[in-house]
Homo-oligomer: A and B are copies of this chain.
Amino acid sequence: MGPRPLRQALLREARMDKLRAYVIGATGLVGQRYVQLLAEHPWFELVGVAASERSAGKRYGDINWVLETPLPEKAAELKIDKLDVDSVPKVDVVFSALPSEVAAKVEPELARRGYLVVSNSSNMRLEPDIPLVIPEVNPRDLELLREQRKRGWSGGIIKKPNCSTTILDLPLKPILDEFGIVRLHVVTMQAVSGAGFSGVASMAILDNLIPYIRGEEEKIVNETKKIFRRDLEIYATTTRVPVVDGHTEVVYVDTERDFDIEGVLELLAKFRGLPQELGLPTAPEAPIIVTKNPDRPQPRLDRMAGNGMSVVVGRARKLGARKLAFVVLGHNTIRGAAGNAVLATELLIKLGLY
């Protein structure tokens, strides 16, 4: 699959060649995270970046880099291509951080032309043959890629879920497997970076919060159902708070079977997925970190746990029979976006699922 088939790519990996990666939508917040993660990645070589007309032609080193770590030197000298399906170079993976309305046009066309597209955009996430993957939760959904052949695509598309969905579903996975889940009440407190660099005006959020994020509640509900392949009863309210990075979610779970709280804590802390078993480069040692400090997790102090790839669960308590409450926090542009997408790609490669 893809202009440079991944099988060959794996062979090249064996020969220590790197896979060629290309980032489209490379100047936005998630695009910058992709560049940051790929620039030093042991398996990928970032060979190019594309963005809209406004940035095309610039040196990547001259964009308005807004991450707190320096722009990677390797990426600085790349010239930004104007995004155009006709001029994407022959690469092994295209990482997409396009706005959904652009992605809806560009990504299927790239898949049709043989590219493997790993996408952050929300379009198509719910289509049945599109893998919507949290590598520790539903790794086998990557096999859906094969179904996409029926679309006449020689390439394919994999999606990472919505940031809040990913952060929520990680701790739900072992709970679902062990105790069953009947019902969820969720309230999120989401960082402004989730809306992109200019998405939330400072006048809107200083000394303030906004009790609504358009489309976000539906994503949590529908994507979680798809990921767990279950018609869970989920109630979600999503809010925006004056935090730069890190989404916090308060979760009430009605379980099918009763539990004791120490058992839940141990279950969460010991949870490991396929990425951990396979020792993938971007996999955190523990996907879920458990804290008993009642004041934690906190976005500023915990969002970089596991280099931004772990979620941190705190305040876990049993509120009654089969009634669990906890707070989970994760980095929305790393585990919630670019990091999850890179990890899913690593898994795809390692599993030879292409």
What 0/1 pattern do residues 268 to 304 of A give for CB contact below 8 A with B? Answer: 0000000000000000000000000011111111001
Task: Say yes or no: is A11 at the interface (Cβ < 8 Å to chain B).
Answer: no
A69–B306 Cα distance when bound, in Å, is: 10
Given A202-B201, A237-B250, A207:B66 Cβ within 8 A: no
A309–B65 Cα distance when bound, in Å, is: 21
Q: In the assembled complex, which residues on chain B have CB atoms less than 8 Å from the CB atom of A204?
A: 197, 202
- Binding stretch for chain B, among A120-128, A139-147, A209-217, A341-349: A209-217
A290–B214 Cα distance when bound, in Å, is: 20
In-complex Cβ contact of A325 among B68, B233, B235 (8 A): B235
Please give the count of copies of this chain that the complex contains: 4
- Give the residue among A29, A299, A301 with the most B Cβ atoms within 10 A: A301
- Binding stretch for chain B, among A50-58, A72-80, A240-248, A256-264: A240-248
In-complex Cβ contact of A300 among B239, B244, B329 (8 A): B244
Asked if A203 and B66 sit within 8 Å, CB to CB, the answer is yes
Q: In the assembled complex, which residues on chain B have CB atoms less than 8 Å from the CB atom of A296?
A: 211
Task: Say yes or no: is A319 at the interface (Cβ < 8 Å to chain B).
Answer: yes
Q: In the assembled complex, which residues on chain B have CB atoms less than 8 Å from the CB atom of A210?
A: 295, 298
Q: In the assembled complex, which residues on chain B have CB atoms less than 8 Å from the CB atom of A248?
A: 209, 211, 239
A241 to chain B, nearest CB (A): 5
A296–B66 Cα distance when bound, in Å, is: 11
Asked if B209 and A241 sit within 8 Å, CB to CB, the answer is yes
Q: In the assembled complex, which residues on chain B have CB atoms less than 8 Å from the CB atom of A192?
A: 202-203, 206
Question: Interface size (A, Cβ < 8 Å)?
Answer: 57
Task: Say yes or no: is A198 at the interface (Cβ < 8 Å to chain B).
Answer: yes
A232 to chain B, nearest CB (A): 13
A307 to chain B, nearest CB (A): 11
In-complex Cβ contact of A201 among B198, B208, B329 (8 A): B198
Asked if B300 and A207 sit within 8 Å, CB to CB, the answer is yes
Given A294-B212, A300-B208, A304-B68, A203:B200 Cβ within 8 A: yes
In-complex Cβ contact of A200 among B202, B243, B294 (8 A): B202
Task: Say yes or no: is A252 at the interface (Cβ < 8 Å to chain B).
Answer: yes
Contact residues, A316-342 vs B (CB, 8 A): 319-320, 323, 325, 327, 329
Task: Say yes or no: is A105 at the interface (Cβ < 8 Å to chain B).
Answer: no
Contact residues, A170-207 vs B (CB, 8 A): 185, 187, 189, 192-193, 197-207
Interface residues of A, Cβ cutoff 8 Å to B: 29, 66-70, 185, 187, 189, 192-193, 197-212, 214, 233, 235, 237, 239, 241-244, 248, 250, 252, 294-301, 304-305, 314-315, 319-320, 323, 325, 327, 329
| Residue contacts A-B, CB under 8 angstroms, 19 given | A187-B187, A187-B237, A192-B203, A192-B206, A193-B203, A197-B203, A200-B203, A202-B204, A206-B243, A209-B248, A210-B295, A211-B248, A211-B329, A212-B294, A235-B319, A235-B325, A237-B327, A239-B248, A244-B300
